[in-house]
Amino acid sequence: MKVLKIFLITVAVMLVLGIGGLVFLYNWAASDLPGFKKITDYKPPLVTTVYANDNQVLGYFYKEKRFLVTLGQMSPWLPKAFLAAEDASFYEHEGVDLTAIARAFVINIKAGHVKQGGSTITQQIIKRLLLSSEKKYKRKLKEAILAYRLEHYLTKDEILTIYLNQIFLGAHSYGVEAAARTYFGKHASELDLAESAVIAGLPQAPSRYSPVRNPELAKKRQVYVLDQLLELNWIDRAQYDEAVNKPLEYTSMADPSWKVGPYYLEEVRRWLVDMYGEEAVYNDGMTVTTACDIKHQLAAEAALRHGLEESAKRRGWEGPTENISLGDAGRIQEQGPQDAEDVEKGDRYRAVVTRVKKDGAEVVFGAFNGFVTLKSMWWCRKPDIKKSHEDVRDPGDARKVLKKGDVVWVSVADIPEVPDAVWTLGLERDPMIEGAIVSVKPDTGEVVALSGGYDFGRSQFNRATQALRQCGSAFKPIVYSTAIDNGFTPASIVMDAPIVFANESEGKLWRPENFENTFYGPTLLRTALVKSRNLVTIRVAQKLGIHKIIERARALGLEADFPSDLSVALGSASVSLMNLCKAYTAFARGGTTIQPRLVLSVKSAWGEELYASQPEVVEAISPQTAYIMACLMKEVVRDGTGWRARVLKRPIAGKTGTSNNEHDAWFMGYTPYLLTGVFVGFDQMKPQGKWETGSRAASPIWVDYRKQVEQDYPYQDFTQPPGIVMVRVDGKTGKLAGPGSSEVFFLPFKEGTEPTQMAAPAGSDGVPASDDDLFKQVF
């Protein structure tokens, strides 16, 4: 009896000491535990995805390549495969699996080293999100305590979702969605059993078991995962055999970022950073929907690049990019095409000249041999900004242009049926000229296309939004719209004659001139705009007063430092292409401006709406004035400097613009359904060359783009508002056209301002005059 009592006392003491020891260990480990509840507000670094308007991906922004997906957005095989490989009893334990720990202990003792871990998925989350990876007993105790607590705060599905989105799976991929895209070019929802087992085998050693680096080891690890699934009876033998024997094809989902619409994407990125901050843009996994239309974007980019290349050719030949020894040609060839299937007609590559003959030059490019024809060198002249390209004569001999060892740009003129044959090529040059194009839907303000330069890789400066340049005569519609609201009509007569202004404070004279340095005398207001007559515009501005013109420009939304002199009427203020497009929306929309919109909506990673764009509309001019200006700018296309747009055979309104010395060339053209602006000019302001005007340099780009998209819209003309009357006008006098009128225009007028007198018959003694006494005096 005494022995039994001693035994019981001893057991009791040991229990007390054991419990005390456990309490001590618990308090020791739990003394400085981090708060685990932040895991419940799971916000890992995620990829922000930018979409075009048809849900095609325009690009990604991220620091860690991770896409958040729920269990329901994964293949059902994925969670099963991960559980089989990492934590088969996940749905039974409470955060710590003592059986797995004991099993791992025995295996590791037998192996003599750490071969298997006993951590549950919950413990792995705790380790990755809250604790360090140091291998100390105190850290393992903390891990177990926190895992137990987390299991009583979140559901099992929530814990598993966090794990499958958080885990690093190699190749810069975090989470199963990123891994599915990286290794199989699929979404996580599309993975089959075999593919799911490959990805589930990665967490233990992502680099070692990488399907890309070590496909054989990846296969062994896949079989291990499938063995576990079979042993657990989560798959049957037929499924196992099919998965084991299925050939694995590894491919990565293409990242479209900075390929299509790089300037558009960068503008969206800058907007997002301004709106939400850089950390949010690169970590919060936002979903951004833009107004970008991929068809429009591709067409706009191609048109701009082609237009700038043609512009460069018109300036002549500036020589090769470099001259090298033929022994160094391999350096250039490595950069070119190696497979004929990758080449399309019109593609441009760098080539090395190996031999020059009179009729052309033999070159090597990529893995191929080519011949640059003399015919393709028609544009090669010595650069001279005082001469037009029409003055160019065929060089007549390729040896005047090229020599052996020259590194030049060539374009593929024809692809031979046999790749080993000699390819026919054309000589090209890399344009230093830059430009921009913006296309906006006037009804909504949606920017369907935007390109801010020739090559985003060469320069990220966006000439559509960041460049401030003089818009020249593209500003004149603003002047003439002001005139229409202040006593002028399309039939008003203004003198086109020399005029001189003295600046007494600076002791200088200003002599504005017409582009052709010719003067036409009394001129219809309609004709002055259509033919872009500077001197008429100056006289109109002088009569209106500069302040009225600046007020109108600001009412249309133009943001510029307007000079307080008459040069403002000729577009001397510097504006961005995007801003000028906004001003022109008033003419396309019937009087109201609308803010161009790139970003339509922004949602959080969980689908919550953070931003929804709404049209920003401002009253600017009357519908009648807008309609009159649209009609006059249709005349610019029909009979003036915008004539190249006639090829579309649509009612198109537009205006060219050219600044002094051909520094800047513009074309602003619009229909009721689409407004497009084009700018061309050197970054370092210098002349483009003789006749490099808005008509020649900018409008062909506009036309090339619109040719590709115009048929997507029904034929539509501008709607005539109430209060407008259409009158046949004599082009010489501005009066009603009569039987003897040799030049007749059908023009719009605000009701009550139309001419009422008939033009005098031909041969009479009638004196040309306007329909208003205001214009009887020539000024």
CA distance 188 to 175: 10
Taking the C-alpha atoms of residue 447 and residue 263, their distance in angstroms, rounded to an integer, is: 12
Distances from the Cα of 523 to the Cαs of 533, 655, 682, 765, 777, in angstroms? 9, 18, 34, 19, 13
Rounded-to-integer distance, Cα 12 and Cα 18, Å: 10
Instruction: Indicate if 86 belongs to the active site.
Output: yes
DSSP letters for 236-275: -HHHHHHHHHSPP--B-----TTTSSHHHHHHHHHHHHHH
Beta carbons of 147 and 95 less than 8 angstroms apart: yes
Nearest partner of 361 among 317, 407, 329, judged by Cα: 407
Task: Classify burial at 32, counting beta carbons within 10 Å of its beta carbon; exposed 0-12, middle 13-18, buried 19 or more.
Answer: exposed
Catalytic, 473? Answer yes
Which residues, including other chains, have CB under 8 Å from residue 462's CB and lie 6 or more apart? Answer: 263, 266, 267, 436, 452, 453
333/328 Cα distance (integer angstroms):
9
- Residue pair 451/263 in contact by the 8 Å Cβ criterion: yes
Residue pair 755/491 in contact (Cβ under 8 Å)? The answer is yes
Cα–Cα distance for residue pair 65/181, rounded to 1 Å: 10
Structure tokens, 47: 């990829």
**CB-based contact 654:532 (threshold 8 Å):** no
Residue linked to tokens 């050939």: 247
CA 400 from centre of chain: 41
Give the CA angle between residues 476, 482, 484 to the nearest 5°.
105
Assign 279 to helix, strand or coil.
helix
- Only one residue has tokens 């194009």, namely 437
> Residue 361: enclosing H or E segment and its boundaries?
strand 360-365
Q: Do 286 and 603 form a contact (C-beta atoms < 8 A)?
A: yes
**How far is the C-alpha of 321 from the C-alpha of 174, rounded, in Å?**
43
Q: Record the tokens describing residue 119, joined without a space.
A: 């951590």
Neighbouring residues of 267: CB distance < 8 A, sequence distance ≥ 6: 450, 452, 462, 464, 465, 598
CA trace torsion 408, 411, 413, 418 (10° rounding): 80
Render the burial of 710-724: b for 16+ CB within 10 Å, e for the rest: beeeeeeebeebeeb
Other CB atoms within a 10 A radius of the CB of residue 306 amount to 15
Q: Cα(315)–Cα(382) distance, rounded to whole angstroms?
A: 8
3-state secondary structure of 357: strand
* Amino acid of residue 132: S
Tokens representing residue 275 in the block: 């709106």
| Backbone Cα Rg of the chain | 37
Q: Give the three-class secondary structure for 690.
A: coil
Cα–Cα distance, 654 to 630 (Å, whole number): 8
Tokens of 618: 């401002």
Residues 6+ apart with CB under 8 A from 11: none
Catalytic residue among 173, 311, 473, 613: 473
Torsion angle, alpha carbons of 70, 72, 74, 77, to 10: 130
Integer Cα distance of 642 and 696 in angstroms: 9
Distance of alpha carbon 573 from alpha carbon 566, whole angstroms: 11
Residues classed as catalytic: 86, 473
